[in-house]
């Protein structure tokens, strides 16, 4: 069975590395009407590594860096936004889905910067994005990027500003915060599955609360540097519902839009 918009709902999951994309995709896959990628042999079973249309995050800098690359953000204006690209992606991803299921999920962190491009290829697609506190994302990513915390905070802001602008052009999008998912998993997932027109399934995967705290403790352990970063970036971070001074602050409830 080929992908058929009349019988399938195509869902792209995205968010920066260490924001919770894998956890979210795994929670979706617990539903018997959802098919994601599993046992593919590529890192984190991400669709970006199973296609040859556009560059992977690794090819343009890797975690904590890729958003700075020219061309990391793809829109409907990209020369790659063609019918041929859509057909190639489906041919490359298709064997990894169980297409007897109604919802087909592709998860890759760089989808955060490629929503408009993917919507141009698949106009009926839905976008499920997850955002996490910039301190937690930055400190968790540093071991991979080998860059400074100020650089990682800038990367977080560059990527989320781009998505905020792109979001205005999307038809079907739902945004959740990692913090809401961790604190209130049942309520958060109820909203996610409602967005997908599915009833929430019984949940077996654990969603661990408090996982940001180790990163917050590390951030606070350098008070002079933390204060300097707060002075420089607090206003920018606050736009997204977070704070570098009040680390426990989190965004309001998830939001959806459809058109």
The pTM (predicted TM-score) of the whole model is 0.95
What are the pLDDT digits (tens) for 35-65? Answer: 999 999 999 999 999 999 999 999 999 999 9
What are the pLDDT digits (tens) for 112-125? Answer: 999 999 999 999 99
* CATH placement of domain 9-258: 3.40.50.300
Rounded CA separation 142/7 (Å) = 42
Give the residue ranges of DSSP H helices in the chain.
21-29, 83-93, 115-121, 134-145, 149-167, 178-183, 185-195, 213-220, 223-238
Handedness of CA 55, 56, 62, 63 (dihedral sign): positive
Q: How many CB atoms lie within 10 A of CB 123?
A: 12
What are the pLDDT digits (tens) for 216-241? Answer: 999 999 999 999 999 999 999 999 99
pLDDT the model gives residue 1 = 58
Residues in the chain: 259
């Amino acid at each position: 069975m080929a992908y058929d918009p009349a019988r399938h709902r195509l869902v792209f999951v995205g968010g920066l590395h260490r924001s919770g994309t894998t956890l979210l995709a795994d929670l979706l896959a617990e539903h018997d009407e959802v098919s994601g990628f599993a046992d593919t042999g590529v890192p984190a079973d991400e669709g970006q590594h199973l296609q040859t249309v556009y560059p992977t995050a690794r090819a343009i800098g890797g975690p904590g860096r890729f958003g700075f690359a020219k061309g990391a953000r793809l829109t409907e204006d990209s020369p790659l936004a063609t019918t041929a690209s859509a057909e190639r992606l489906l041919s490359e991803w298709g064997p990894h889905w169980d297409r007897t299921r109604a919802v087909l999920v592709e998860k890759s962190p760089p989808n955060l910067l490629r929503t408009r491009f993917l919507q141009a290829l698949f106009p009926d697609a839905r976008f499920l994005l997850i955002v996490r506190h910039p301190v937690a994302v930055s400190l968790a990513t540093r071991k991979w990027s080998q860059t400074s915390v100020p650089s990682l905070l800038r990367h977080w802001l560059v990527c989320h500003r781009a998505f905020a602008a792109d979001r205005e052009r999307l038809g079907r999008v739902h945004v959740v915060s990692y913090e809401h998912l961790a604190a209130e998993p049942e309520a958060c997932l109820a909203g996610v599955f409602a967005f997908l027109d599915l009833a929430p399934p019984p949940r077996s995967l654990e969603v661990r609360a408090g996982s940001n705290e180790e990163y917050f403790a590390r951030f606070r352990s350098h008070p002079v540097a933390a204060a300097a970063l707060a002075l420089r970036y607090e206003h920018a971070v606050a736009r997204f519902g977070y704070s570098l001074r009040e680390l426990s602050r989190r965004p309001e409830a998830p939001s959806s839009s459809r058109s």
